Amino acid sequence: MRLLSLTALGLVLATVAGAAELNPRQAHSLDLGPVRGSAYYTVETDGLRVVATLAPTDAAAATPLRVITTLASDQVVSFSVPGTQDGAAASVAFARRGNRVEVASTGY
């Protein structure tokens, strides 16, 4: 399982221009084209808790979606938005490396 997580992390980070390191409790903007939002993480006893809130950009009354996950060492979680017929899909991945979280985006 650990090898699979490390492989997934390598694939995600290899496909993007660069990863940014998040700081605990500091918001980071997310832009997935038709979906935007923010994310932050907190340090908990069972891991690093990532909270991402996302909402469509074209629907003023749309209800945002909040996703919460706790990352153990070397785990990765990603979210994606399907591409249109003419466009590529967009994704964002959060990877735990030691006691820090990196975020990397592809697409838009």
Number of domains in the chain: 1
- List the strands of the sheet with 100-106, edge to edge: 20-22, 100-106, 90-97, 76-81
- Of 29, 49, 44, nearest in space to 108 by CA: 29
Give the DSSP letter of residue 17. S
pTM of the model: 0.75
Q: Dump pLDDT digits (tens) for 33-92.
A: 888 999 999 999 999 999 999 998 886 667 899 999 999 999 999 989 888 777 778 899
Q: Give me the domain span that covers residue 95.
A: 2-106
CA 67/CA 83 separation, integer angstroms: 21
| Residues 33, 81 contacting (CB under 8 angstroms) | yes
The radius of gyration computed from the CA coordinates of the chain, to the nearest angstrom, equals 14
Please give the pLDDT value at position 86. Answer: 75
Please say if the pLDDT value at position 101 is more than 90.
Answer: yes
pLDDT > 70? residue 15 = no
